[in-house]
């Protein structure tokens, strides 16, 4: 038996919102959100089947597996792949956070993320606001963005030129933390003996220079 204070499903405050979002979802919007993954899938699949058709299955496995193993083993390609992974992960988590925090229009349109890239401390995403949104709404949700992305902190900064453009910095590491020591270039300089500004006094003072004596 339902509780006395329970409301019927038709009176849910999210009923109209769910219908609106369902109607506003489009193929282009889904393609835009998954453009990097779709491009990687199409390019990788096309290259694999083309190599398979030209040189066979076993040579194709060596031709693609060896460069992939080298890319993972070397530090620079590994850092690049790791940065790209966190960029894609952050973009999807931010879009999910926009929906869960109701940072969308009444028609269910989410703000656009036209540019997102890796930074020395994490990821920065430039968000283009739609009509009805303000930068203050996103500033108040900075802690929720950090939790959604699994980061240590988040900073939201409105553009000084365009009010509809907001920068969201997802901070995952501290480049000046205790684990990293910034060495001063002055430590590598040769030691220079200190110069005394007090002149050296003689070992004895003549009697005629002692005050009070004649």
For residue 5, the number of C-alpha atoms closer than 13 Å in the C-beta half-sphere is: 0
Does 180 reside within a domain? no
> With contact defined as beta carbons under 8 Å apart, do 140 and 154 qualify?
no
Same domain, 171 and 90: yes
Same domain, 117 and 147: yes
Q: Which domain range does residue 165 map to?
A: 86-175
Residue 57 belongs to what H/E stretch? Answer: helix 57-73
Percent share of the chain, pLDDT over 90: 19
In terms of pTM, does the model score above 0.85? Answer: no
Does 163 reside within a domain? yes
Same domain, 97 and 170: yes
Residue 105 burial (10 A CB sphere; 0-12, 13-18, 19+): middle
Q: How many residues does the chain have?
A: 214
Average pLDDT, the chain: 75
3-state secondary structure of 79: helix
Number of domains forming the structure of the chain: 2
Radius of gyration of the chain (CA): 32
Does 206 reside within a domain? no
Higher pLDDT, 2 or 76: 76
pLDDT at 22 over 60: no
Does 159 reside within a domain? yes
Mapping DSSP onto H, E and C, the string for 131-187 reads CCCCHHHHHCCHHHHHHHHCCCEEEEEECCCCCCEEEEEEECCCCCCCCCCCCCHHH
Mean pLDDT of 143-155: 91
pLDDT at 98 over 80: yes
């Amino acid at each position: 038996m339902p509780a006395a204070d329970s409301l019927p499903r038709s009176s849910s405050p999210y009923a109209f919102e769910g219908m609106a979002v369902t109607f506003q979802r489009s193929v282009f919007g889904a393609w835009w959100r998954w453009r990097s993954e779709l491009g990687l899938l199409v390019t990788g699949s096309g290259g694999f089947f083309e190599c398979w058709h030209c040189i066979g299955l076993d040579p194709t496995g060596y031709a693609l597996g060896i460069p992939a193993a080298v890319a993972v083993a070397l530090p620079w390609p590994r850092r690049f792949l790791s940065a790209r992974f966190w960029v894609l992960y952050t973009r999807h988590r931010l879009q999910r956070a926009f929906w869960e925090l109701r940072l969308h229009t009444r028609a269910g349109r989410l703000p656009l993320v036209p540019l997102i890239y890796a930074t020395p401390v994490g990821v920065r995403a430039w968000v283009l606001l739609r009509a009805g949104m303000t930068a203050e709404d996103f500033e108040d949700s900075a802690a929720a963005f950090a939790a959604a992305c699994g980061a240590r902190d988040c900073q939201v900064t409105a553009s000084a030129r365009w009010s509809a453009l907001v920068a969201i910095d997802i901070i995952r590491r501290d480049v000046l933390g205790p684990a990293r020591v910034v060495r001063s270039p002055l430590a590598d300089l040769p030691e220079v003996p200190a110069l005394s500004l007090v002149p050296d006094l003689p070992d004895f003072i003549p009697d005629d220079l002692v005050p009070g004596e004649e």
